[in-house]
Amino acid sequence: MGSTSDTEIQRKSLSTRESQALSRLASGNRKVITIGDIMGALDIPRKSAKDMAYALKEKGWLEHIAHGEYLILPLAAGENAVYTEHEFVIASALVEPMYVGYWSALNHHGLTEQLSRTVYLATTDRAQERKIHRVTYRPVTVTAQKFFGYQPTAVGSNQVNISSIEKTLVDCADHPEFCGGIGELAKAIQNAVEMRCSWERVIEYLRRVGNGAATKRIVYLADQLDLDFPEYDELVENFTTGYPLLDPTREATGTRDSKYQLRLNVAPESFLPEDFS
């Protein structure tokens, strides 16, 4: 650890009242609290609760994460308050509704070995990117039509919505820029084979999401990885018009492939596992 910084705050001692408030608020392993929670815990008016929240933040016991919402920094963290709670819990407090998705969900499901210091979350709301304790939280605004395919998942003592394996693959095909590019998606699809991924459900989700580019990318990768994909012919027959980029994170170069109706701006040997290139 280095010296005191934005990730390491010297804690200041608490008054008896503040200590009482924190112990009550932290009961039941709660990590995120609101001004209303402080009002209720101490039976005090809103202004007094806001003043207390500000004081606890200045002393290094609370972290402000959203409007009127605070994260309780671990009570057992010692003099230097360094954040130790799972980033997904913070993400779940930043915007509502939400689910952890894209690259972050790939990590959660063990579909990629690449770690990202950005936590990606899907939401139907509009929310700003935030940086808390050196971690960037990137909300991706999606339409209500695309907001499905997740379930509450235990993260410590909390429940956080995380997209399923099938929906994560579809979301990453929809937006490869939020999963590290087409190479990461190729590795994720290969790893998903060993995790009993339901390809029928992937196809169902592709149709619900309704993005033709996502379908083309997954069909293309299924072919490159020698996957026996269900309903293959029907998917190909219903390809949408246009030639989207295979990998939107890379330059708009390469040939237009009439079979997949994709612009192949990345050579397969540059991203496929050695067994397939």
Q: Which domain does 225 fall in, by range?
A: 87-270
pLDDT digits (tens, 9 = 90+) for 18-65: 888 888 887 766 778 899 999 988 899 999 999 999 999 888 888 888
DSSP code for 120: E
At residue 233, what are phi and psi to the nearest 5 degrees? -60, -40
- Domain stop point among 43, 64, 81: 81
Q: What is the CATH number of the domain that holds 44?
A: 1.10.10.10
Q: Name the nearest CA neighbour of 187 among 263, 264, 114.
A: 114
Specify whether 104 is located in the same domain as 193.
yes
Specify whether 168 is located in the same domain as 255.
yes
Banded pLDDT at 145 (limits 50, 70, 90): very high
3-state helix, strand and coil shares in percent for the chain, rounded to the nearest 5: 40, 20, 40
Specify whether 76 is located in the same domain as 99.
no
At residue 152, what are phi and psi to the nearest 5 degrees? -60, 130
- Asked if 258 and 242 touch (Cβ cutoff 8 Å), the reply is no
Helix, strand, or coil (residue 37): helix
- Residues contacting residue 125 through CB under 8 Å, at least 6 positions apart: 95, 96, 97, 98, 139, 141
Domain count, the chain: 2
Specify whether 77 is located in the same domain as 93.
no
pLDDT digits (tens, 9 = 90+) for 217-228: 999 999 999 999
Specify whether 64 is located in the same domain as 96.
no
* Residue 111 counted as domain residue: yes
DSSP code for 177: G
Strand order in the sheet with 62-66: 32-34, 69-72, 62-66
Strand partners for 100? 121, 162
Specify whether 176 is located in the same domain as 239.
yes
Specify whether 137 is located in the same domain as 118.
yes
Residue 116, pLDDT score: 83
pLDDT > 90 in the chain, percent: 59
* Residue 277 counted as domain residue: no
pTM listed for this prediction: 0.80
Specify whether 95 is located in the same domain as 137.
yes
At residue 72, what are phi and psi to the nearest 5 degrees? -80, 115
In which residue are the tokens 């580019």 written?
213
223 CB neighbour count, 10 Å cutoff = 15
**Average pLDDT of span 90-107:** 93
251 CB neighbour count, 10 Å cutoff = 9
Specify whether 74 is located in the same domain as 192.
no
Strand partners for 21? none
